[in-house]
């Protein structure tokens, strides 16, 4: 089983960006944790981050026929990107949305998720554990 883990803008700034919201762990810490969880779950993952919407769309399209599932933290593009929504819908790969914080508990503009419309699940507000829950969920979904 192969899962693509996509991270959107500013996720690479973990550990620096608003530690009161996102904590002190770095993006490298997240990558290492994802690799560890994937190994425990006996799945292959590719972790990718970009600050550019079109690059994320390209990566989603490249996943077609190459990955069994997508875990996506669209970050700020959650609330703005119909292009990411359309790419997820186009490839038809089961996708799960994740967020480190809980967008519904933040500013009103963060309450809408375009990407989430195309996702089969959502995990938010649990820090890195949001990703762990997504891995377990999508693995179970694909196997069953």
Q: Catalytic pick from 22, 52, 79, 111?
A: 22
The DSSP call for residue 50 is: -
Q: Is 123 helix (H, G, I), strand (E, B) or coil?
A: strand
Vertex 102: Cα angle to 99 and 104 (nearest 5): 125
Provide the strand spans (E) within the chain: 2-7, 44-49, 69-73, 95-99, 121-124
* Strand pairing report for 69-73 and 2-7: parallel
Distance CA 93, CA 96 (A): 10
**CB-based burial label for 60 (10 Å; 0-12, 13-18, 19+):** buried
Q: Catalytic pick from 64, 77, 79, 99?
A: 99
Active site residue 99: yes
Q: Which residues are catalytic?
A: 22, 99
């Amino acid at each position: 089983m192969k899962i693509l883990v996509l991270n959107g803008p500013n996720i690479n700034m973990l550990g620096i960006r608003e530690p009161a919201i996102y904590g002190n762990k770095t993006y490298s810490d997240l990558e290492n944790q994802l690799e560890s969880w994937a190994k425990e779950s006996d799945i292959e993952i590719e972790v990718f981050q970009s600050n550019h919407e079109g690059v994320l769309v390209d990566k989603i399209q490249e996943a077609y026929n190459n990955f069994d599932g997508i875990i996506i933290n669209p970050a700020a593009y959650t609330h703005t990107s119909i292009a990411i929504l359309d790419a997820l819908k186009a490839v038809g790969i089961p996708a799960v949305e994740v967020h480190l914080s809980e967008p519904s508990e933040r500013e009103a503009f963060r309450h809408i998720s375009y990407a989430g419309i195309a996702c089969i699940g959502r995990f938010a507000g649990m820090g890195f554990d949001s990703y762990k829950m997504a891995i377990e969920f999508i693995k179970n979904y694909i196997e069953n």
